[in-house]
Amino acid sequence: MKLYNVAILGATGEVGREMLKILKERNFPVGELRLLASARSVGKVMEFGDRKVTVEEAGENSFAGMDIVLGAASNDLAKKFAPFITAAGAVFVDNSSAFRMNPDVPLVIPEINAEDVKYNKGIISNPNCSTIITLMAVKGINKLSKITAMNAATYQAVSGAGAGGPIELHTQNEALLNGGAIECKTFPYQIAQNLIPQIGSFLEDGYTTEEMKMQNEGRKIFHNQDLKVTCTCVRVPVVRSHSIAVSVYTENKLSVEDVKAAIAKEDGCRLVDDPANKKYPMPLDTSDQNIVFVGRIRKDLLFENGITLFCCGDQVRKGAATNAVQIAEEVIRLK
């Protein structure tokens, strides 16, 4: 088996650590493994199977000899290092939003548009986590009839804000139990026992940057520039796995039975829809695995061509790290 040299940029962060874990889980053919991070993480030792790999500081010359670089760093670092990655001849699979809307950069969910990988010019972008989970849930519907519009509300776990999110939720819960002071560092308001209806910065039209990603990225992934999406993103006091309530509007009228059957046979999806027995998707059930659960499927009551559903998926895995590794698998398949 041919081996490929792999680097992870941002290896010590939450998504970087998950990428390392998933490379091993999926038996990716890793030759040399280079773990790159900031200066404060240099010298840290991380395990990859029976290997122990020492973290190095990311620099302009860090990518020589690499075949694939998995990006788990900020937008700024992705933009800074991308020219050096491509100049070294590696393919950069980037989890940041830095290049997602660049027309020369494929934006890929392998179960939906894997063929776009072959058009890369050295960079491939991983979509936003909520976009991935939502489009995974509705891709079977889009095969039955082209989706023209979606109305979504996302319920996003605190870990989506990075390692500080779960810590803040935990410490605030402890403070509430023990009568301590509530400190807000990661989030602008108390998240324990609360919801915060803002993720991202506000735009002039009142939507946030996070809310516009589903429309902008969905158009690119589905190859449908006419797709319209209204979205509200909410931070919720859940540690892991994002949930989305979405109404989907299609060109043709679809039956609930046909929609359920289509979703049930889609790769990467699991139909969990048995309301009589209280079976439906929940964050606890979807955490630390790669399948998107889909349920609560019913006719939309506003429009004849509408279907409403609820879905959940692990935003660290399928919403980020697993999707990136799947892209890398497609890259080597095409070599």
Which residue is listed with tokens 């075949």? 67
Q: 131, 150 in Cβ contact below 8 A?
A: no
Task: Tell me the C-alpha distance between 293 and 283, whole Å.
Answer: 9
Give the residue among 45, 4, 2 at the shortest CA–CA distance from 23. 4
Q: Which long-range contacts (CB under 8 A, 24 or more apart) does 197-205 make?
A: 197/232, 197/233, 197/234, 197/235, 198/233, 198/235, 199/154, 199/156, 199/160, 199/233, 199/234, 199/235, 200/233
- Say which residues have a Cβ less than 8 Å from residue 246's Cβ, sequence separation at least 6: 134, 137, 138, 150, 151, 152, 153, 308, 309, 310, 311
User: In the annotation, is 129 catalytic?
Assistant: yes
Please tell me whether residue 328 adopts helix, strand or coil conformation: helix
Task: Tell me the C-alpha distance between 224 and 236, whole Å.
Answer: 31
Element (H, E) at 331: helix 322-334
Set 242, 269, 311, 312: catalytic member? 242
Task: Tell me the C-alpha distance between 17 and 46, whole Å.
Answer: 9
CA angle 83, 88, 94 (to 5 degrees): 55
The DSSP output letter for 274 is B
Q: 250, 311 in Cβ contact below 8 A?
A: no
Residues with catalytic roles: 129, 242
